A and B are shown apart, each in its own frame.
Chain A
């Protein structure tokens, strides 16, 4: 039970990161490997503003602003000049940006991990003496809210529809008068803002920051996004939570624990074998 709740919490974080991944992938058609490092930047921003102001809420706001600006900046400087070039070229600049952010963080904050205290919100005891910390509930609840809000945004608003159109067919969307560059920029802004939220929840669960904080959650969230079907918002959520729960269960069984990573990625392979485009991914028929 405990493991399940822990898994859900971790899964919530993965899901939030995966949402960012999946949005950017769905619309810009690029794997943004720097996404994990934007989370790292968000975490360091929270760390710095907490030290200055002492209250988490302004820290989160500042982090959202910083991450969004950073997301826009990287998109403008590193990705937009390569629009129209091979997607692999963009993949590599994304990796370059990832290295760049990591080394800048190390130069500014040093390599030692810094402790961040988001404040202990306490915990509540549910049935069967299972105590759940409030931050866990908050993480999951907010994840859910964000997901629903995003889905509504994409489905119901005009801008959201434009996003869908761009992800379906960029050229056709452009012909329909949609500002493709603007939409892609907006997607990066939303994805980066989500990353800032992800770093908030991350710090609630794991209260310390290092320059390499983002890389592993980044890869796992990428995996989660693929499990759920890349490009699908509820898919990212399901994939993230599934991955978090599996990871926690594997870690709690002593025999399996050393193989946790193998099990997580094994799950991915198995799922893709049966559903080649992920759990909720759209099947695309190839046209000649």
Chain B
């Protein structure tokens, strides 16, 4: 933290940045694993965590396509469906042969993922030359086709859905580990030269082609990798829920995943993880808390939350306000207050400890945040959080 020398400090920073995603998942994994392995985790917590885990996998993998590659996909639930049905079916066969549930889970995840990747290849090969919204609708169509076809197969349980064997209450541990693997692959892929090629395609396809990037190859590769992880998410779903119901993998669910990606930020894996966690949590809590006659309010609230969150994150008019009131500034403010309270230095002490590094040029936003502690609120922002430190002064 206290960077005296430039070089090691930089190295350290890079490392921290890259471990944040893992830390985030581990923050979920470790405390709950302790209670879980002790055998007394609540059923609802376990279900919630599993759902968060597969939402994370879905959001991160969709982010590869939407955020990094820049192609809109509305059929991610379709790949999940492939994984859930085929992986689930495979697991059913394996349970008879292999006793260990964990081994079955891992094997079926591989099988489900590979099958989903195969479907991704099949659908991607002919259609990836389509542009923008046309590709989006093809993926949507794919998702609808896949689930209808699976639903009509007697071997997969027909209308009632595929019967699967539940993994049990500790599934979330395995699921979160899968999420870590997904993050690992996604992050390292995007930091490699392949990742740079992929992002070059997003930024300007023609320029990328001119630079010698093999567009088709990379598009297909990203599509297949995303499908693979969606398939794994499907297998986790199949181990979590029985029967595997075709209605779940509808277009609406694809949209829900997309919402996570967009809210988390395009091409931002940490954001996807956070959004997946928060949205899943909100969704589950709204469902379980608003019971009986209140249930109709659930979508109302969810819709409002959604609209407000998107507005807050994206509306151009709110940009100024957003720069003032955000989580980062809140954290900064908390730090400043804590710093002031502990050090009790009346002059100059407001400077937050981290911004001391001379080599770090403060961005405009951070400048504002720093300055706002001293400035009187003469500007027209009605934001109250950055002003709050003045209250701290009075104490």
Contacts and interface: CB of A to CB of B under 8 A. Distances in A.
A16 interface: no
A268 interface: yes
Interface string B50-69: 00000000000000001000
Nearest to A281: B134
Interface stretch (B16-24, B138-146, B216-224, B355-363): B138-146
Contacts of A164: none
A148 B259 CA distance: 37
Contacts of B315: 81-82, 85
Given A103-B299, A104-B300, A92 B137 contact: no
A253 interface: no
Contact of B144 (A31, A84, A262, A278): A262
B126 A273 contact: yes
A225 to B, nearest CB: 9
Nearest to A261: B148
18 contacts: A25-B133, A82-B315, A83-B316, A84-B316, A89-B314, A91-B258, A92-B310, A93-B310, A96-B310, A100-B299, A100-B304, A100-B307, A219-B140, A259-B152, A262-B144, A273-B127, A277-B131, A288-B206
Contacts of B140: 219, 265
Interface-centre pick from A25, A31, A89 (highest chain B CB count, 10 A): A89
A88 B130 contact: no
A178 interface: no
A232 to B, nearest CB: 13
Nearest to A219: B251
B286 to A, nearest CB: 11
Interface of B is mostly: helix
A91 B266 CA distance: 14
Contacts of B302: 99
Contacts of B3: none
Query: Which size bracket describes the interface of B in this complex?
Result: 35 or more
Contacts of A143: none
A287 to B, nearest CB: 9
Closest 6 CB pairs of A and B: A265-B141, A99-B303, A103-B299, A85-B314, A89-B314, A96-B307
B303 A103 contact: yes
A52 interface: no
A266 interface: yes
B94 to A, nearest CB: 29
A85 B298 CA distance: 27
Given A88-B266, A269-B142, A278 B134 contact: yes
B306 A226 contact: no
A106 B145 CA distance: 29
A139 interface: no
A272 B138 CA distance: 8
Contacts of A259: 148-149, 152
B273 interface: no
Contact of A268 (B66, B138, B313, B318): B138
B12 interface: no
A111 B127 CA distance: 39
Interface in A17-50: 25, 31, 33
A276 B302 CA distance: 36
A260 B311 CA distance: 38
B63 to A, nearest CB: 12
Nearest to A257: B152
A100 B131 contact: no
A202 B333 CA distance: 57
B85 to A, nearest CB: 15
A33 B310 CA distance: 16
A141 interface: no
A257 to B, nearest CB: 10
Contacts of B206: 286, 288
Given A262-B145, A273-B127, A286-B206, A226 B316 contact: no
Interface string B233-273: 00000000000000000010001001100110010000000
B196 interface: no
B175 to A, nearest CB: 26
Contacts of B34: none
Nearest to B146: A262
A99 B302 CA distance: 8
A113 to B, nearest CB: 15
Contacts of B142: 265, 269
Contacts of B303: 96-100, 103
A261 B134 contact: no
B134 A276 contact: yes
A103 B127 CA distance: 36
Contacts of A106: 296, 299
Contacts of B129: 276
Nearest to B317: A81
Contact of B141 (A81, A104, A111, A223): A223
A54 interface: no
A222 interface: yes
B307 A97 contact: yes
B154 to A, nearest CB: 11
A268 B134 CA distance: 10
B145 A93 contact: no
Contacts of B148: 258-262
B262 A92 contact: yes
B12 to A, nearest CB: 33
Contacts of A210: none
Contacts of B173: none
A60 interface: no
A260 B299 CA distance: 29
A89 B262 contact: yes
A223 to B, nearest CB: 7
Contacts of A99: 299-300, 302-303, 306
